[in-house]
Structure 1
Amino acid sequence: MGQKSGRKVLGEVIGWATVFTSVAFVAIELHLHRYVDGFLDAYRVYYFDDLFVSLNIAGLIGLIYSVLRVKDLTLENRRRREAERNVEWIATHDALTELPNRRLLDREIAAAGGGRSSPKTVFSVDLDGFKRVNDLFGHAVGNEVLKTVAERLKCSFPEGTIYRIGGDEFLVITDGADAEEAAAAAQRIVQQLTAPIDADVMTVDVGASVGYGLASGSPESLNAAILQSDYAMYAAKSSGRNRAVAFAPFMEQDVYKRARLEGALKRAVREGTIIPHFQPLIDLRTNSVYGFEALARWELQPGEFVSPGEFIPLAEETGLIVPLTEHLLRLCCAEARNWPKHVGLAFNLSPVLLSDAVIGLRLIRIMSEEGFSPTRLELEITESSVMKDYPAAQKVLGDLMEAGARIALDDFGTGYSSLSQLSGFSFDTIKIDRSFVTAMNKGERQDKVIRAIVALGSGLGVKTTAEGIEDEEQLAYLRSLGCDIGQGYLLGRPMPAEAARRFLQERLGHPVPMESEQPETGEGSPSRLPAKLRRA
């Protein structure tokens, strides 16, 4: 910048020097004009007169050229200054929303680091469901959503400073550090950003998780409040999204724990150390083994297990759910192909995967490669995940059902679907949520809910599976209602593959083979797959 300014000054100096020289030359020429006129009159030399006129004309032309040159230099310098200002703006602002970016935030924090400022409140805002909007409707709609969010934040905080920190992350800094006012403002952000957004030719819904922290005004407090608001925002997302949470000291440790767990999860997925355990599904009419449900188990170190409720959501958020699902299904198929042909495999499908149009074909290909028939697979999905994006779910599940897989609606009765939607969706099993089974026989209302679900399954011609059976009274009551399949600790706990084989052996009365020959051609062979599956 210093060299550029020096060149501009030098150019202006040279231009003005040229003008001054030309003016001086004309002045001198005019001053000498009378002497020259006298000389010409005395000697009557006409060619001197012509020469004098030529010199006057040359001086005038030089003066005009110098003035024009100075004008051009001034205009060029003005354009350069405007271009430099534009470059500076582009470097410190987000082009889409025209909000200040992280670079400007870091610069302002550094500039304020040397002195005390007024107390402030910092809000970290992260959009919930924005990735899904991008995936389903494209980046053009996503950009409209971001611009609308920016406008709503600017309207809500006209006196505050709003930054776009990342893809769908925003930061709001306001004057004042009152805890009650901050809580009300955070709730206002959630309410405004969860309202429907008109983007392009459609209306989309996103949510917002908001965390906030208070800065006392000391030089280091603003930077600390920004970190605290970030910690609180992650806590808000973990607690159910669309929430506003104030910073608490324990949240910092939770973030560090999450970061360590995320690193460990990446290694576990890469090294394949997360394995399936199998929980029996018992036919309540014959007391035979109907199948096993595969449940992911991660032993972080000997004797220390990480709960699936902790690492499965983390895998969904970090994009690891696809390789994890494919790895687990491959292990499950390799084990289940050794079971008797009438024993099926139940496998949970994450709601996140239903937005991947080709995931169904990829899972079918894995089964083919492992020699496991899709007709023995029952995919468990939650009703909420199906109804959240019905067309995408139909595409994914349609591919799997076309190959022969069955579909089970998991946690039935706890979602938000309507019976009209369910009646238009093809599924084979309803899984009664364990919360209903646990509350059974504790009141007439709970019993009626169980009866209604079993009757619904019977009326639709699909099987009903009851989860969470833990005592004989529950088992007897479900049998009396006509429930088809039972699952729970009373009937069998989740167990490793070897234990599952022993469980089958005890029920069947003969050994279950450790290995089975994979057919070179047949139902599960790649050569028999449809063309679109072979290309997946």
Structure 2
Amino acid sequence: MTRRKGEQNSAAKALSRARRDLVTGVILIGGLTLLVTSGWHYVASLERLLGSTSRAQELASSDRILMAGMLLNLALILFGWRRYRDLVATSSQRDEAEARATTLARTDELTGFLNRRALAEEGAAAIALATRRDKAVALLVVDLDHFKTVNEVHGHLAGDSILRCATDIIRKALPASAVAGRLDGDEFAVLLPFDPRHVNTVDSIADYIVGALAQPMIARSVTAHIGATIGVARTEADCHTVDALLRRANIAMQAAKTAGRGRHAWFDATMERELISRNAIEAGLREGIPAGQFVPYYEPQVDLTSGAIIGFEVLARWEHPTRGIIPPDSFIPVAEECGLIADMSVSVMRRAFTEARDWDPSITLSVNISPAQLKDPWLAQKVVKLLVETGYPANRLEIEITESSLFQNLSLAQSIVGSLKNQGIRLALDDFGTGYSSLAHLRALPFDRIKIDKSFVTAMNKDPESMAIVDAISKLGESLNLPITAEGIEDQAIYDSLRKMGLHKGQGWHFGKPMTVAAARRLLAEKGLLPSARAVVEEPLQRRA
């Protein structure tokens, strides 16, 4: 509606200008015509008025009237000419203003590149022209990797200057036939016609842009290191519009970011399938977490000396209504990426605490905390709240933290761990040996146990270096008075080797794969570690007595 009114107003203004121009033109043309057709009368009258004959005196009155008409005619001509000159000047200014308005409407003011709407229009024309010339078109989406940091640290004025520098680099890399635009704050798009037989031309341009943007940029006394990641898509039989190319190039760009940034990647169909699968998993997470589809599975933990079950590690499994059991490798990374890992973990812990609270007091539960959860300053309070709500004893809970999760904010981790320890919850350092500051973390945080990463345990009987690492960690635990748990015990040979080293606790498929709560209860019942199972055994003994 607003657009229609604007068009009507523009049409009315144009009509009014046309009417004024027409009136001015009529006046000027009429004056000139009158001057041409009556000019000889004016000249003759002027001669008679200047003469001194009696006949001239007799005609003086009529000649004066003709002279007045001539002067009026000249005045009209001068008025028309001046008005025409003003109209020409006004029209020129108006044309310049309209040209500037058109430019502003089609270009990004900061960078001078086309805006998204103009890019779509000119991109469509470029694709049509390239098709007629038997050429292909590549669309490059250029995303600046660390531009947000520049704005946060140095301010938006410095960020704008860095954007202009990046724009100059991109513009310098492009041939005259390219069409470039700015999509978003730090994202650009380039349509590049090329010979399909020489795809390396596009690779060379993309490599140049990535390499040039990786260099330090200096603007407004600020030195910035940003870098860029590029996704590339090309016209195909099923992809020949700007929107379709943008979609595919964005998919390729995200894949390049996942692979490590600072590079370019061409779109291929597997990327799209992975994206569809990933989006389906995210949608399933959002629906499945509140529906209780994520359940705990229990992996037995065993005393290596006696072979007795002393606890379980709680592992999340997805009981999908149509796909069955989905392993964690398929959904844990997506849950962490989309920020649902905390909700999922709380749901699984609540169910595990409820299911295990009536097990033998000697049976403990070990729960993994993800790096994303360790950024939450309220994590300790959430865990304690779950214990209170479910009635599960705090002294039967062990929280496992990986080394990698400690690098980002050690002070926050110390605060969370301190709060957990104050409630009687034990703490284990998981995947020990895979990080870079293991000893420093052992000193900084009050760990109760060390868990050796399973990659070393699984390979220890085949790889002397892995055997040496496991042995060294075992001796370190002894010297620090920290119990050791070995993960990944998959056969009797590994079991025997660990017993010889003096390790006292272990877990792995040799003792049983992760199992449902029903299977865990059956296993505990066989060992007499359920109150109901003990009652069944004790009752016949009492009768016999």
Q: Secondary structure at the match of 1:351?
A: coil
2:539 paired residue number: none
- What is the SS of the residue equivalent to 1:276? strand
TM-score, normalised relative to structure 1: 0.71
What is the CA–CA distance in structure 2 between the aligned matches of 1:24 and 1:8, rounded to whole Å?
24
Aligned-partner Cα distance in 2 for 1:456–1:144: 53
Instruction: Give the corresponding residue for 1:491.
Output: 511
Corresponding residue of 1:50: none
User: In the alignment, what sits opposite 2:139?
Assistant: 122
Q: Work out whether 1:107 is the aligned partner of 2:121.
A: yes
Structure 1: unaligned runs, 5 residues or longer:
36-41, 43-59, 515-536
Q: 2 CA distance for matches of 1:11 and 1:154?
A: 46
Q: Cα offset for 1:185?
A: 5.2
Give, in whole Å, the separation in 2 of the partners of 1:77 and 1:269. Answer: 61
Match for 1:352: what amino acid? Answer: A
Among 6, 14, 17, which residue is 2:11 paired with? 6
Report if the CA contact (8 A) 1:285-1:479 is conserved. yes
The answer to whether 1:463 aligns with 2:483 is: yes
2:527 match: secondary structure: helix
Q: Which structure is richer in relative contact order (CA contacts within 8 A, separation 6 or more)?
A: 1
> 1: distance between equivalents of 2:157 and 2:305?
52
The question of 1:446 aligning with 2:466 is answered: yes
Find out whether 1:86 has 2:104 as its counterpart: yes
For 1:240 and 1:276, the matched residues in 2 are separated by 33
Alpha-carbon displacement from aligned partner over 1:204-225 (angstroms, at most 9, x marks no partner): 9877654433447999276655
Number of equivalent positions: 502
What is the distance in 2 between the residues matched to 1:201 and 1:489?
60
Q: Which amino acid aligns with 1:86?
A: L
Structure 1 distance, partners of 2:279, 2:191, is 26
CA contact (8 A) 1:186 1:210 kept: yes
What's the CA shift string for 1:172-202, capped at 9, x where partnerless?
Answer: 4444353445455556666666778899999
Partner in structure 2 of residue 272 of structure 1: 292
Which residue matches 1:48?
none
TM alignment of 1:69-218, pairs within 5 A: 82-83=100-101, 85-89=103-107, 93=108, 100-112=114-126, 114=128, 116=132, 118-125=135-142, 147=163, 150-151=166-167, 154=170, 157-159=173-175, 161-165=179-183, 170-176=188-194, 178-183=198-203, 186=206, 210-215=230-235
RMSD of equivalent CA atoms? 5.3
Structure 1 pair 86–486 and aligned structure 2 pair: CA distance change class (3 A): same
Distance in 2, matches of 1:129 and 1:512, equals: 59
CA distance, structure 2, for counterparts of residue 269 and residue 72 of structure 1: 68
Q: CA deviation at 1:145?
A: 11
Higher mean displacement: 69-78 or 205-214: 69-78
The residue aligned with 2:449 is 429
Q: Distance in 1 between matches of 2:162 and 2:531?
A: 60
Larger Rg over CA atoms = 2
Distance 1:289 1:331, change over 3 A: same
Q: How much does 1:448 deviate? A: 1.4
* 2:430 match: 410
Shift of 1:468: 0.8
Alpha-carbon distance between aligned partners in 2 of 1:165 and 1:245, rounded to the nearest angstrom = 19
Aligned twin of 1:259: 279
Give the secondary structure class of the aligned counterpart of 1:333.
helix
The amino acid across from 2:170 in the alignment is K
Segment drifting more, 17-26 vs 167-176? 17-26
Call closer, same or farther: CA 1:81–1:273 in 2, change over 3 Å: same
Aligned to 2:73: none
Q: Distance in 1 between matches of 2:95 and 2:488?
A: 78
Q: 1:138 deviation in Å?
A: 11
Alpha-carbon separation, structure 1, partners of 2:408 and 2:526: 42
Question: Alignment partner of 2:503: what SS?
Answer: coil
Deviation per CA, 1:284-312: give whole Å up to 9, x if none.
Answer: 34544342211111133466332311211
Q: Indicate which of 319, 344, 358 corresponds to 1:324.
A: 344
Task: Report SS of the residue matched to 2:302.
Answer: strand
For each residue in 1:476-496, what CA deviation from the matched residue of structure 2 results, as whole angstroms up to 9, or x when unmatched? 222332334311001221111
Distance 2:356 2:211 in 1: 48
Letter in 1 for 2:139: V
Task: Indicate if the aligned counterparts of 1:124 and 1:226 stay in contact, CA closer than 8 A.
Answer: yes
Distance 1:496 1:130 in 2: 47
Contact 2:234 2:245 (8 Å CA) reproduced: yes
CA distance in 1, matches of 2:226, 2:440: 25
Q: For 2:371 and 2:424, how far apart are their aligned partners in 1?
A: 20
Residue 255 of structure 1 deviates from its aligned partner by: 3.2
Identity %: 34
- Indicate the SS of the match to 2:289: helix
What TM-score, normalized by structure 2, do the two folds share? 0.70
Residues 330-341 of structure 1 aligned to structure 2 (within 5 Å) = 330-341=350-361
**1:400 deviation in Å?**
4.0
